[in-house]
Structure 1
Amino acid sequence: MSTSLPADPADLGALAARRLIARKQLSPVELAEACIARTEAVDHAVNALIARDFDGMLEGARSAEAAVMRGAPLGALHGLPLAVKDMVDVAGLPTTYGSEVFRDNIATGDDAMVVALRGAGALPMGKTNTPEWSAGANTRNTVNGVTANPYDLSRTCAGSSGGSAVALACGYTPLATGSDTGGSLRNPAAYCGVVGFRPSPGVVPGDTRGTALIPLPTPGPMARSVGDLGLMLSVMARPDRRDPYTVMVDGRTPWDPAGFATLPARDLSSLRVAATEDFGFAPVEGMIRSHFQMALAELEPQFGRLDHTTPDCTEADRIFAILRAVQFLGKHAQLVDTMPDKVGPNVTDNVAEGRRYSAEDVSWALHRQAEYHRAWQGFFDHHDILLSPAVTISPRPWREFYPTQIDGTPTQSYYHWLALAYATTIPGHPSITIPCGHDANGMPFGLQITGRRHGDAEVLAIAAELEAVIAGSSTLAPRRPDLALLRAAPALRDAPGFYTFD
């Protein structure tokens, strides 16, 4: 195969790499080797990939190259490296969930999502770091340590899919898996200058979700561009009856998975756009409000109409708190009761919170969620998309367990600062975060784009158009991390507090 490449293969996006592989202009082995070299050069500084299977990826890459050379049919992700969040099983690799209880747990098989991604030709390279049980948005745990933001190694990369976001930002891989309850893939995407998509419930089956009928959590794709993310989604959005929200008719979903890989052009000037800084309730830092206002001023001429308004989010904090606590109570109470010394503070607090709620509280939250959902449907009768910041604050130091105040106002819980994300989780609307410049601290800013429930393809198509506009802006175009600084940085694991919560 030709080795004349337009760039370091590690920096190629998924669509570009897949195209070059099909044309025999890029060897899957070359791509795998480049991604391994990048990981080995900078991961000491950020600690994103906490378990590795480089030998397995290279073996798969050699098989992928042989398939290309003999003219075999190629899957959508043929020969593309893939990083998998450490909440999902990959055969032969640890699945620790960031939990001391599962420190030595080795997966005996692949999760159904990984089976689908492998089947399309993806090559798992390893597991990415996450907070314990994905509880919290600072990627730290006592098993694998902290993951740092590649734009400032003293700051958090957010979470809980923080390792995946950092791996993408640094060029370890063009694709990574994430999951999202209160912004767990959107928040780290925002902080690391990459793209994260929370789909409508059931589009990506959550076949292992503990509370199957309360779809707050969902798996989702992460990538460095909207087009790459759509390619990955075309494989992840598959039929699976184990998720009650994955609608199937005669064995097929109402949505065409292949359509996510070929997004149509969308005329931004025809859109009725709504924009909100805070959904009427979220505690948002002044710096974030200012950057969002500046970005809107630049983007507004692209739209047919822009209204500064929000759907009704009355009592969003309480709805989310109760339903989230119920999830943790059902799954983690036994661990807290039987092995309290091996359970971290966030999970322990969530179980305690869940035990304070009564059946009446839970009934209230379920009924109020239904009202909230219906109000959002009426709002989207009059608007095509809703724009907001992705996260309430600029990245804080990773040693801060969670933000206890925002611009002097105390937060209500360790997850209250995620309110801009869980505002859209409650009604189940698809939301994507794309890079949109850098805030006054020089850190990446994420623009959240939310659309109609089950309007996933439209959200991606609009996001791709906005991504192109932003890329051409002198003030909003994203920048990649300084790899030279990362290579020269000391090992993060030597930093005080790497494993502890002091």
Structure 2
Amino acid sequence: MTNPASLGAIDARRLIARKKLSPVELAQACIAQVETLDHAVNALIARDFDGMLEGAKKAETAVMSGAPLGALHGLPFAVKDMIDVTGLPTTFGSEAFANNIATGDDAIVAAMRAAGGLPMGKTNTPEWSAGGNTRNRVNGVTANPYDLTRTCAGSSGGSAVALACDYAPLATGSDTGGSLRNPAAYCGIVGYRPSPGVVPGNTRAAGLIPMPTSGPMARSVADAGLMLSVLARPDRNDPFTTVIDGQTPWDAASFANLPRRDLSSLRIAVTEDYGFAPTETLIRDHFRAILPKLAPFLGEVTEAIPDCTDADRIFSVLRGVQFLGVHAKLYDETPDQVGPNVADNVREGRSYSAEDVAQAIFAQGRYHRDWQAFFELHDFIISPAVTISPRPWRELYPTEIDGTPTKSYYHWLAMAYASTIPGHPSITIPCGMDANGMPFGLQIVGRRHDDLGVLAVAAELEAIIAGTDLAVPAPDFAALRTAPPLSQADEFLTFN
């Protein structure tokens, strides 16, 4: 019999509605996964199993009484430790907030609760989501379940690992430069970055910079769509969420019922590096090997890229401005409680002049227009999700790729931030194991606000991949059960 914890969100929700799966049984199975595996990976750093079980019992009562059921009724979900869950710590991975307990739910958590979802706990993140390696001085490191010596990426690394290990069918993530796409790629799951405003942030720090956004993470595209149907709600608190007469221009319900899409009618652009991303040979080789297996199902396939001139500069300046605005006071007043990546970003932000910022903003406008022109000729872009295969987690960030030095601790995320800058929706789906035996993520980018199209195309490709040798297996749970506690590893809490 299938372990209930291994069920996807849609399948579990359907079985619950048909009274063939008890929400309590599902919750207990998810708890068992955490209790037998998390010592090895350290993904769930705060837990509310009692609260989840209490919610599961209420969910079961609602099912048996014939009450209306929400879209996520009885489904456990994990929450990235960047947003609040009532009564649980929100540490942001920061020593300054190690004892911070949330007194209310973030709007995303509240929306998922209202749809019947059951928060199980908080997932690990780098300090303030700064960086692509999930480790911090409060909660330690999170390891990749496919190789415990390697990184799970970040910053939504804990969420990706929780999904890969069957802790829950859904998890929250957030993304500026690939923070949910990169860990999805490294852990063999799905991460979706929506268009700006589709998932509103009621506490968006920088009202003029749309690069950060929350998004769904799941083990399938359809499950991510189901979660997005709950998250994509009207909320005027986010300046990028269009609300007219109480409604958004996008039909949130459509994300839960993805339409079929004829891939053979599409004009697909493919690229290994967007013309500027520092991509290692191993990734290029894998991408070249999988394309012939996918191309017969696609329409017109062309090697082409939008104009990405100044991408590194635009991203660096706008990212630095955001970190300076949020973290400068913390860095100045308690520098000993600020980690190296956040400190680097604050210092970098201070190095930019008003003219630098103005040039970056105007360059972003030009960049956006160039991407719109490109998408008049192409329907979607397919590329690798990440520039490199997972490195050892003890390496805080890659300082070189194939012998060439990187420009910063986030330069290796360029494959993702290429589409962040113009605000285009993009998704990462698993597509084979690379030469290191690690999951490979395929990235699909669509037109701005064609979120439904990106999800639909990704679902079609996912189905094709499932029928080939590119299907990514689950991690070796038996090996994880017997692995030593990750907390005993050297450098678990320190950066040397």
TM bin, normalised by shorter chain, reads: over 0.9
Query: In the alignment, which residue of structure 2 is the partner of 1:156?
Result: 151
Q: CA deviation at 1:99?
A: 0.1
What secondary structure does 1:433 align onto? strand
Deviations along 1:200-246, one digit per CA (max 9) or x if unpaired, are 00000022121022011000000000000000000000000000100
Task: Tell me the equivalent position of 1:187.
Answer: 182
The answer for the alignment partner of 1:93 in structure 2 is 88
Aligned to 2:474: 480
Distance 2:187 2:116 in 1: 26
> Is 2:123 aligned against 1:106?
no
TM-aligned CA deviation for residue 98 of structure 1: 0.1
What amino acid sits opposite 2:66 in the alignment?
A: G
Letter in 1 for 2:481: R
- C-alpha distance after superposition, 1:67-87 (max 9, x if no partner): 000000000000000000000
1:501 paired residue number: 495
Show the counterpart of 1:262: 257
Matched with 1:410 is: 405
Q: Distance in 2 between matches of 1:41 and 1:383?
A: 47
- Superposed CA deviations along residues 399-449 of structure 1, whole A, max 9, x for unmatched, are 001000000000000000000000000000000000000000000000000
Choose the corresponding residue for 1:334, options 326, 329, 333.
329
How far, CA to CA, are the matches of 2:84 and 2:111 in structure 1? 13
For 1:136 and 1:160, the matched residues in 2 are separated by: 6
Cα deviation digits, residues 34-87 of structure 1 (max 9, x gap):
000011000000000000000000000000000000000000000000000000
- Give the whole-Å Cα distance in 2 for the aligned partners of 1:379 and 1:165: 32
The answer to whether structure 1 residue 132 and structure 2 residue 127 are counterparts is yes
| Residues in 1 aligned to 2:7 and 2:261: alpha-carbon distance in whole angstroms | 25
Match of 2:24 in 1: 29
* 1:391 to 2:383 alignment: no
> Which residue type is aligned with residue 191 of structure 1?
Y
Q: Is the 8 A contact 2:107 2:201 kept in 1?
A: no
- Aligned counterparts of 1:477 and 1:171: Cα–Cα separation in 2: 17
The residue number in structure 2 matching 1:490 is 484
1:3 corresponds in structure 2 to: none
TM-superposed deviation, 1:304 = 1.2
Instruction: Find the aligned partners of 2:298 and 2:95 in 1 and give their Cα distance.
Output: 50
Q: Name 2:212's counterpart in structure 1.
A: 217
CA deviations on 1:294-330 (whole Å, 9 max, x unpaired) are 1111101111100001000001000000000000000
Q: Residues 102-501 of structure 1 correspond to what in structure 2 (within 5 A)?
A: 102-474=97-469, 476-501=470-495
Scaled by the length of structure 1, the TM-score of the pair is 0.99
Q: Percent identity?
A: 74
The separation in 2 between residues aligned to 1:208 and 1:423, in whole angstroms, is 25
Residues of 1 paired with 2:202 and 2:352: CA distance?
A: 27
**Unpaired runs of 5+ in structure 1?**
1-5
What is the CA–CA distance in structure 2 between the aligned matches of 1:23 and 1:349, rounded to whole Å? 53
Give the Cα separation in 2 of the matches to 1:283 and 1:63.
51
**Alpha-carbon distance in 1 for matches of 2:207, 2:89:** 25
Deviation (angstroms), 1:164: 0.1
Using the alignment, how far apart are the partners of 1:308 and 1:272 within structure 2? 11
Q: Distance in 1 between matches of 2:313 and 2:373?
A: 22
Matched, 1:80 2:65: no
Post-superposition CA distance 1:86-114 (Å, at most 9, x none): 00000000000000000000000000111
Whether contact under 8 Å (2:193, 2:426) holds in the other structure is: yes
Structure 1 residue identity aligned to 2:265: S
What's the secondary structure of 2:323's corresponding residue?
A: helix
Offset at residue 115 of structure 1 (A): 0.6
Partner in structure 2 of residue 38 of structure 1:
33
Structure 2 SS opposite 1:468: helix
Aligned residue identity for 1:380: F
- Aligned residue identity for 1:451: G
Structure 2: 5+ residue runs without aligned partners?
none
- In structure 1, the residue matched to 2:60 is 65
Please list the CA deviations of residues 120-162 of structure 1 after superposition, one character each: whole Å capped at 9, or x if unmatched: 0000000000000000000000000000000000000000000
CA distance in 2: counterparts of 1:240 and 1:364, whole angstroms: 31
Inter-partner Cα distance in structure 1 for 2:334 and 2:124: 22
Q: What secondary structure sits across from 1:277 in the alignment? A: coil
Q: Distance in 1 between matches of 2:415 and 2:19?
A: 44
Equivalent position SS for 2:172: strand
Q: Could you report, residue by residue, the CA deviation over 1:234-259 in whole angstroms, capped at 9, with x for unpaired residues?
A: 00000000001000110100001000
Residue-pair matches, total:
496
SS in 2 for 1:220: strand
Distance 1:244 1:289 in 2: 38
Post-superposition, which runs of at least 4 consecutive aligned residues in structure 1 deviate over 3 A?
none
SS class of match (1:372): helix
Aligned equivalents of 1:80 and 1:213: distance in 2? 35
Question: Aligned equivalents of 1:40 and 1:212: distance in 2?
Answer: 41
Deviations 1:310-351 (A, max 9, x none): 000001000000000000000000001000000001001100
Alignment partners' CA distance in 2, 1:473 and 1:294: 13
Give the residue type in structure 2 aligned to 1:494. Q
Q: Which amino acid aligns with 2:492?
A: F
Asked whether the equivalents of residues 324 and 349 of structure 2 are also in contact (C-alpha less than 8 Å), the reply is: yes
